[in-house]
């Protein structure tokens, strides 16, 4: 009898437990359905892929496939210049809307998408912080350093790295008739240049002609893991937990990004403390203007990664478009011949001021930035309280709006019917208001307003020199024109197998 009562009691408890669990599951299911429908209806007036209104699957699939910038372009071409790509995410190919969001006095905020730009998950930097006040304060401390005003021999440092690239190609490959992977050499150049101007010590990629510490190889493997956190920003906070310490790069690592973190940590440590070193380089300027030790470490790390990969992409992509277009090569060399550049001693490098005064050189660089924009991340901004509108399209408060670089840089109404063609002459043919529109649009490659790229000055100086110095000395051909390179996008472009042969230029 006692046993029977106990069984009935236990069954009653189990029944109540099952009922409670069922109610909880049902409540959760109802909450998910209602939340999903509410989110869908908020942006139902903006078209896009059907799945995007209900799930982040479209975002995740395209981010991880390496096709995100091209997928966004396809979406804006199919659904319009403002399109939906997620439950709370839009993308736009409207340059005027981008400027509206990015102006100095904008009320838009950075979204949590930027958390993924914490190259050390536990530390913010000027690119990752979404706090406006902190961002403004950091920019103010670093502006003088990035401008070059407080950096001794900034241009001379870039010159010596240009010559290091030229000498490497000539002595190790061209003079021996050997092909080389220009994708790697271009990245060696930008890594050595940015480290030299940042803290006065080039890494030495060009000197050793190798991927030191397996840095590039390991970073390319890690980037997809970084980019999925742009879709799920909460994962960044998870990765910063001590539990996952072994999964993220550490300054104690012997290879990869962690090794570079360790190098930068040692250099930053040498600039603080009782026996601190002082140098008039970018890091020295940052510290002079008040960056703390942790801030200096974080910002220098960001500078190396963001400053080398994006510039390398522009060097590689522009170079590919130039050497496969004989008309462009002829026009460039003719301008250099006319300016007396090609007959100069082989040990000299064109000055930044001279390069800026050469119309075709500038047209070539602008066209390279346009045809293959190096920064193509969504960089989602959040619509302010009260919402916003553009050309009659209402943007509800809290909506995240992203940047479709490929779409903006291929708009026929701005660039003409041949927008998909690499044609530097368009910059020489345009004038007046049309030229101003084109220049303002291509400048979006460096963002705009309060979020404009701090490194623009250094990047442009690198570009102003490298094409001139390579193409005034050598002719280049692709080893296999049917397979010019391997290129994919994982937030940044990863490019390799760009096999080229060079020849001394015939006089």
Distance CA 359, CA 351 (A): 15
User: H or E stretch including 222?
Assistant: helix 215-231
Binding residue ranges: 453
Residue with tokens 């991880």: 64
CB 444 within 8 A of CB 408: yes
Pairing status of strand 180-181 against strand 499-504? antiparallel
Distance CA 121, CA 236 (A): 6
Q: Which two tokens stand for residue 214?
A: 């397996």
Distance CA 484, CA 6 (A): 78
Cα-based distances in Å from 68 to 218, 316, 383, 398: 21, 20, 22, 22
Distance CA 382, CA 380 (A): 7
Pairing status of strand 400-403 against strand 381-382? antiparallel
Binding residue ranges for heme: 453
Residue with tokens 């742009």: 230
Q: Which two tokens stand for residue 10?
A: 């236990």
Kindly give, in sequence order, each residue whose CB lies less than 8 Å from that of residue 347, ignoring residues fewer than 6 positions away.
163
CB 197 within 8 A of CB 213: no
Neighbours of 434 (CB within 10 A): 13
């Amino acid at each position: 009898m006692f046993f029977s009562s106990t069984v009935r009691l236990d069954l009653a408890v189990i029944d109540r437990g099952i009922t409670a669990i069922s109610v909880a599951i049902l409540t959760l299911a109802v909450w998910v359905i209602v939340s999903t429908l509410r989110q869908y209806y908020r942006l139902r007036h903006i078209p896009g892929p059907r799945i995007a209104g209900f799930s982040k699957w479209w975002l995740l699939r395209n981010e991880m496939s390496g096709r995100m910038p091209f997928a966004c372009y396809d979406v804006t071409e199919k659904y319009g210049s403002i399109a939906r790509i997620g439950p709370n995410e839009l993308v736009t190919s409207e340059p005027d809307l981008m400027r509206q969001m990015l102006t100095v006095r904008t009320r838009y905020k950075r979204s949590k998408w930027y958390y993924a730009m914490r190259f050390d998950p536990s530390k913010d930097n000027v690119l990752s912080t979404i706090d406006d006040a902190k961002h403004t304060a950091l920019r103010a401390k670093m502006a003088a350093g990035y401008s070059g005003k407080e950096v001794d021999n900034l241009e001379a440092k870039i010159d010596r790295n240009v010559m290091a690239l030229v000498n490497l190609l000539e002595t190790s490959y061209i003079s021996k008739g050997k092909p080389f992977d220009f994708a790697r050499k271009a990245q060696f150049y930008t890594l050595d240049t940015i480290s030299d101007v940042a803290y006065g010590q080039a890494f030495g990629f060009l000197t050793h002609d190798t991927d030191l510490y397996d840095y590039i190889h390991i970073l390319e493997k890690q980037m997809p893991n970084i980019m999925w956190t742009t879709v799920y920003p909460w994962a960044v906070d998870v990765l910063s937990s001590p539990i996952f310490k072994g999964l993220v790069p550490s300054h104690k690592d012997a290879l990869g990004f962690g090794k570079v973190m360790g190098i930068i940590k040692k250099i930053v440590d040498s600039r603080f403390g009782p026996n601190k070193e002082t140098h008039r380089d970018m890091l020295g300027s940052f510290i002079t203007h008040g960056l703390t030790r942790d801030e200096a470490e974080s910002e220098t790390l960001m500078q190396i990664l963001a400053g080398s990969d994006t510039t390398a992409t522009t060097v590689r992509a522009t170079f590919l478009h130039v050497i496969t277009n004989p008309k462009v090569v002829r026009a460039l060399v003719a301008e250099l011949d006319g300016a007396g550049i090609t007959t100069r001693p082989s040990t000299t490098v064109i000055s930044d001021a001279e390069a800026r005064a050469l119309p075709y050189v500038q047209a070539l660089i602008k066209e390279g930035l346009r045809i293959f924009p190096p920064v193509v991340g969504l960089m989602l901004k959040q619509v302010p309280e009260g919402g916003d509108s553009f050309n009659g399209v209402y943007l509800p408060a809290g909506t995240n709006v992203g940047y479709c670089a490929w779409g903006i840089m291929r708009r026929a109404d701005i660039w003409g019917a041949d927008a998909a063609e690499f044609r530097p002459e368009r910059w020489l043919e345009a004038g007046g208001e049309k030229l101003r529109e084109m220049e303002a649009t291509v400048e979006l490659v460096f963002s705009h307003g309060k979020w404009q790229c701090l490194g623009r000055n250094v990047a442009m100086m690198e570009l102003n020199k490298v094409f001139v110095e390579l193409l005034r000395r050598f002719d280049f051909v692709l080893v296999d024109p049917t397979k010019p390179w391997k290129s994919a996008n994982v937030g940044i472009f990863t490019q390799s197998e760009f096999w080229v042969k060079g020849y001394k230029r015939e006089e």
